[in-house]
Structure 1
Amino acid sequence: MRKPISVKGAENLGRVRLSETFFMRDFLYSEIANVHGLQNLPDDPDLAIAAGKQLCGQLLEPLQATFGRLAIRSAYRSPEVNSFGNAHGYNCASNERNRARHIWDQRSSDGGIGAMATIAIPWLVDYIETGGSWQAMAWWIHDQFPYSELQFFPKLGAFNIAWHEFPKREISSYARPRGVLTKQGMPTHNEEHSAHYRNFPRLARSNAGLAN
């Protein structure tokens, strides 16, 4: 697929089905692009679609099947949008760091493909408001899914979740307690974690096979 240069082209890209319940259009909204008149469309749609299918099929679909609706807070960013956000204090990492993360249509320095989305889960919002912790969700995902990165934020229990061809398996947080929860090589990485999420629902598997 060519980079969209028309409304019709953008519509066709948005109609691409990434998984059972997610379409490409779900991941293209950007406050930065809307407010500052920037285009948030991929230069390499095929690469973005390939990475997005893995993110949705491997991570987002089973999360949604287990906990209910996911709200997409931020997902795909064009290099132009991400660079602008980084330069103007909108909490965007550099383009180099965000390749194969929020910039789905560029490979990371190791040559791998990947995709990241910032999501909020209403179930988790309620869980935290009634005394639960973000760490419980972090360990639950760690034990269930082939994620690459998780990064938790103070508002709405929102977090970045990333799939990557060469996963880092690293969890960090800007919510308290801040810092790295686990990464490869830490003693906690391969320990038993189920005590942290005993009251969580059992993992549900949807019909999340990747759409053609």
Structure 2
Amino acid sequence: MNPLTEQLHHLRLRLTHPANRPLPEITTETGPTLRGWVLRLALLVLTPLLLFTAAGRTPDIPDGVTWTIAALSTGLLLARPTPTTAGGTVVVAAVLFWGFTTEPLDPWALAVALLAYLLTRITWWAAHVPLHGRVEISALLVGWRRDLAVLACTGLLGALAMLVSGATVPGAVLIAALAIVGIAFLALATGGATRDDGRS
């Protein structure tokens, strides 16, 4: 085989090799999307709302302490939106709510729990979507039935507890406890589809 034929042969092999072929053009379409910074904006609103709601039920906490805690927690969540920072914020809210009082269970605890649930879910998404990235709204709504059931049941329990907080109803505490356990199981259930909530 002469040099010219050999070069042509090598050229043909190089052009026909799958690794050397040009990649095909692919067009994809996405549904409506949401920017990552919108999720951070939601955290900017939800974090202080959660902490002020929790601290507002404990009159002994100075306003300066509440503002400082809210500012630090919000800044930390915006800088590092991870399940760990979200869990830490929820724990701080619980301490503000229950740590300085010996009163019985306050019905507002369920409102705080509702805000904490929302904060945890949004933090998970903020951790997975870059600031300038996009996420499809349909992806955000995966498992929306479960989330809506948790939020609705929590809000309903809180409203009912506030209505009857001045009355003594035998067995009401047991019923409320069973309802909360039911909500917890509902929140942890995956149903028929797998849902990735990230590493804890």
Tell me if TM exceeds 0.5: no
Higher strand proportion, which one? 1
Higher helix proportion, which one? 2
TM-score range normalised by the length of the shorter chain: under 0.3
Greater RCO, CA 8 A, separation 6+: 2
Q: Whose Rg is larger?
A: 2
